[in-house]
Amino acid sequence: MQQYTDERQARRQYVHHRQMRIFSVLAAVMAVVLIVSLFTFFYSISRGNAKEAQTQTNFGASVICPSEDQNKNQPLYEQNGNVQVSVYNGTKSVGFAKAVGSALQNRHFSVVSVSNFSSRKVERTAIYYGMNNIAQAYTVYANFTDAKLVMDNRQGQVVSVVLGSTFNNLANKESVPAPGSLIKSVEGCTPPSKVDTKKLPATFEQNAA
């Protein structure tokens, strides 16, 4: 009788220990799932906030508003294939401009050149444009999450992208406005009519002179 009781107790202990192991494994798996979910959640929020900050403030840089054309048509995002882009590497990362240039080509932008910038210590990616290609610049700008728009005195149609160290990746294609949709202005932008073109900095872009 004592032996039977001992066997029952041993089986109970075995089942108990087995259940504890199973619960421990399940708890560990759930913890990992929770951590991954939280990371994904906060990463999405941070990227969304970065894009919102870019759209609203242009990271503190002055920017020109998109405006109606001569026929009073509202400013619209261009077809990527109609936008010429030069890509410059403003960092010490080798092959950076080539990689981003290829990514822009995959989005059907017309990349006319890829090269190194005069400075290799650029922090914030900058998109340079002129009075004649504002809509094109905003079209490129919509594909970045951490860039600022900067106007110079270029007269041509080429938009220059100078990559900085904060660049991580292009914006998700799903978040980029469709060609032909109304351009969303940056908060606090200046109307083109109020721009003193004589005071604009000289362009460095040979393809856009």
Give the CB-side neighbour count of residue 182, counting CA atoms within 13 A: 5
Q: Residue 59 has which token pair?
A: 């990271």
User: Looking at the predicted structure, is the pLDDT value of residue 124 above 50?
Assistant: yes
- Strand residue runs (E) in the chain: 84-89, 110-116, 126-129, 148-151, 159-163
User: What does pTM read for this prediction?
Assistant: 0.71
Domain boundaries, the chain: 1-60, 61-208
Mean pLDDT, rounded, of the chain: 82
Average pLDDT over residues 109-114: 96
Q: pLDDT tens digits for 157-199?
A: 999 999 999 999 999 999 999 999 999 888 888 998 898 989 9
